[in-house]
């Protein structure tokens, strides 16, 4: 008798799976646990249009032509001519585009959600009132985890959150908005401290796998070069002091991540050297298929470094390049789709010289 029952259970398991004997609700629950998901946090490098939904100014938005035109019609609010880094990562991970937080509706979040906001920093003071700061992004993430729990139950939603990857581009704007009343290192500690709090907050909700981008060479954007030019440095050099701030921040990142790894059981991270990847392309554009790294495709003034692309901000006049593929920078501070694709590929399957200890391809499959 016992043998028969075991046989029936065994037999129904064997035929149950291939013949789809589970109901569709049951199937959803089963798949949710194994679902790959990508949660995105940070600034304009990652913002898919969240700032379209907040009370801000056009300084912090980009949902008009020619933004987006290489891929999206109508424009979405991405600060780029086309797709941005999270779009490519989603593609490589075989996920749908990660939706903006304000567009997830009732159940459109099992593959992850994008909370990033153009202009946001790690400090609440950074462009306060115009952006969704990182702390608020965490608050929105907690709302999503609550919805997940309500929909799938505690155990299954936890499993999804354990397995998910959490990616950050955060800190750039804190240094563009540097408060010089602080000593540089003290300011950087404060920025990193606030980033750490948010990472811990996500860990508390179940997050385990974190990917952090280092900051780019902030003084070498067309916007920075234009500023330098306007302040009398006609050579179009980078603003060294700004890049130095990014370097200070970047050197504190690995220490912070190692400390979290020691303190939080199961915490895993990967650090991507965006500074190196961007600098190599700025210093040697032709090696990577670009004609210029100093001048932006879209903007006005020296190096088209005045932030006027599309004519919807303070300055209405702007110039647009003919062939965006020749350019590293689309506007005064943001890269083109071609660059983001190269960066995303390195995040996905790059080697330890740019991403370690895991690239995203291995990180997604790593058991939490
Ligand atoms: C939006 O911001 C403007 C200017 O800062 C302010 O006057 C207005 O009250 C704000 N509206 C809302 C709904 O917060
Ligand atoms: C976070 O930033 C605030 C300023 O916005 C600062 O007062 C605070 O000390 C920082 N927190 C940490 C943990 O560094
Ligand atoms: C121009 O920039 C370079 C590089 O940052 C610097 O060495 C030089 O002193 C600057 N010149 C002026 C006039 O500011
Ligand atoms: C890395 O991934 C990209 C995107 O999937 C792919 O096109 C490229 O061939 C891969 N490179 C290597 C070395 O596997």
Q: What is the pLDDT of residues 163-197, one digit of tens each?
A: 999 999 999 999 999 999 999 999 999 999 999 99
Quote the CA–CA distance of 366 and 161 in Å, as a whole number. Answer: 13
Shared domain for 17 and 73, answered yes or no, is no
- Is the CB of 237 within 6 Å of ligand 3? yes
- Is the CB of 232 within 6 Å of ligand 3? yes
Shared domain for 260 and 336, answered yes or no, is yes
Q: Whole-prediction pTM value?
A: 0.90
- Is the CB of 128 within 6 Å of ligand 2? no
Q: Which ligand is nearest to the CA of 197?
A: 2
Q: What is the pLDDT of residues 311-335, one digit of tens each?
A: 999 999 999 999 999 999 999 999 9
Shared domain for 151 and 225, answered yes or no, is yes
Shared domain for 23 and 140, answered yes or no, is no
Q: What is the pLDDT of residues 237-281, one digit of tens each?
A: 999 999 999 999 999 999 999 999 999 999 999 999 999 999 999
Q: Helices 240-263 and 274-283 meet at what angle, rounded to 10?
A: 150
Quote the CA–CA distance of 307 and 332 in Å, as a whole number. Answer: 5
Question: In the structure, which protein residues have their CB atom closer than 6 angstroms to any atom of ligand 4?
Answer: 92, 345, 348-349
Task: Tell me what the pLDDT averaged over the chain comes to.
Answer: 92
Q: Helices 154-163 and 24-34 meet at what angle, rounded to 10?
A: 40
Report the number of distinct structural domains present in the chain. 2
What pLDDT is recorded for position 34? 65
Shared domain for 27 and 49, answered yes or no, is no
Quote the CA–CA distance of 169 and 43 in Å, as a whole number. Answer: 6
Residue 334 falls in the annotated catalytic set: yes
Q: What is the pLDDT of residues 92-127, one digit of tens each?
A: 999 999 999 999 976 678 999 999 999 999 999 999
Shared domain for 2 and 72, answered yes or no, is no
Shared domain for 11 and 62, answered yes or no, is no
Shared domain for 153 and 206, answered yes or no, is yes
Shared domain for 24 and 57, answered yes or no, is no
Domain region containing 305:
39-365
Structure tokens at 39: 């949660």
What pLDDT is recorded for position 19? 35
Shared domain for 174 and 65, answered yes or no, is yes
> What is the arithmetic mean of pLDDT over 200-213?
98
What pLDDT is recorded for position 17? 37
Shared domain for 307 and 213, answered yes or no, is yes
- Which entry of 47, 169, 331, 332 is annotated as an active-site residue? 331
pLDDT at 18 > cutoff 90: no
Residue ID of nearest Cα to ligand 4 atom 1: 349
State the greatest distance between any 2 C-alpha atoms of the chain, in Å, as a whole number.
92
- Which entry of 44, 157, 224, 270 is annotated as an active-site residue? 44
CA of 262 to the centre of ligand 4 (A): 32
User: H or E segment at 298?
Assistant: strand 298-299
- Report whether 71 contacts 97 (CB < 8 A): no
Burial (CB < 10 A; 0-12, 13-18, 19+), residue 108, is exposed
Residue 44 falls in the annotated catalytic set: yes
Quote the CA–CA distance of 356 and 162 in Å, as a whole number. Answer: 20
- SS3 of residue 319 by DSSP: strand
């Amino acid at each position: 008798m016992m043998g028969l029952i075991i046989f029936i259970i065994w037999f129904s398991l064997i035929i149950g799976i291939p013949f789809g004997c589970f109901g569709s609700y049951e199937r959803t629950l089963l798949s949710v646990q194994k679902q790959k998901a990508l949660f995105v946090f940070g600034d304009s490098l990652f913002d898919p249009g969240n700032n379209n939904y907040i009370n801000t100014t056009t300084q912090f938005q980009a949902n008009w032509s020619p933004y987006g035109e290489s891929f999206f019609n109508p424009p979405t609010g991405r600060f780029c001519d086309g797709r941005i880094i999270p779009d490519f990562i989603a593609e490589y991970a075989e996920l749908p585009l990660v939706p903006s937080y304000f567009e997830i509706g009732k159940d459109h979040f099992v593959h992850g959600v994008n909370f990033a906001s153009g202009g946001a920093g790690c400090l609440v003071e950074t462009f306060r009132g115009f952006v969704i700061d990182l702390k608020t992004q965490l608050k929105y993430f907690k709302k999503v985890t609550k919805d997940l729990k309500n929909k799938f139950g505690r155990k299954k939603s936890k499993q999804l959150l354990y397995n998910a990857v959490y990616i950050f581009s955060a800190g750039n704007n804190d240094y563009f908005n540097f408060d010089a009343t602080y000593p540089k290192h003290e300011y950087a500690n404060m920025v990193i401290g606030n980033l750490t709090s948010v990472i811990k907050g996500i860990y508390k909700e179940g997050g385990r796998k974190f990917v952090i981008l280092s900051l780019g060479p902030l003084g070498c954007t067309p916007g920075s070069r234009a500023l330098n030019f306007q302040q009398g440095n006609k050579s179009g050099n980078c603003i060294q002091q700004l890049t130095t701030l990014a370097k200070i921040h970047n050197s504190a990142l690995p220490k912070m991540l190692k400390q979290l790894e020691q303190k939080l059981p199961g915490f895993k991270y990967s650090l991507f050297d965006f500074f190196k990847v961007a600098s190599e392309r700025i210093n040697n554009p032709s090696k990577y298929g670009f004609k210029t790294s100093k001048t932006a495709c879209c903007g006005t003034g020296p190096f088209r470094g005045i932030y006027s692309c599309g004519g919807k901000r303070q300055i209405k006049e702007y110039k647009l390049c003919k062939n965006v593929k020749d350019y590293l920078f689309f506007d005064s501070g943001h890269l083109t789709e071609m660059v983001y694709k190269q960066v995303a590929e390195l995040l996905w399957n790059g080697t330890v010289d740019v991403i370690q200890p895991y690239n995203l391809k291995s990180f997604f499959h790593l058991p939490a």
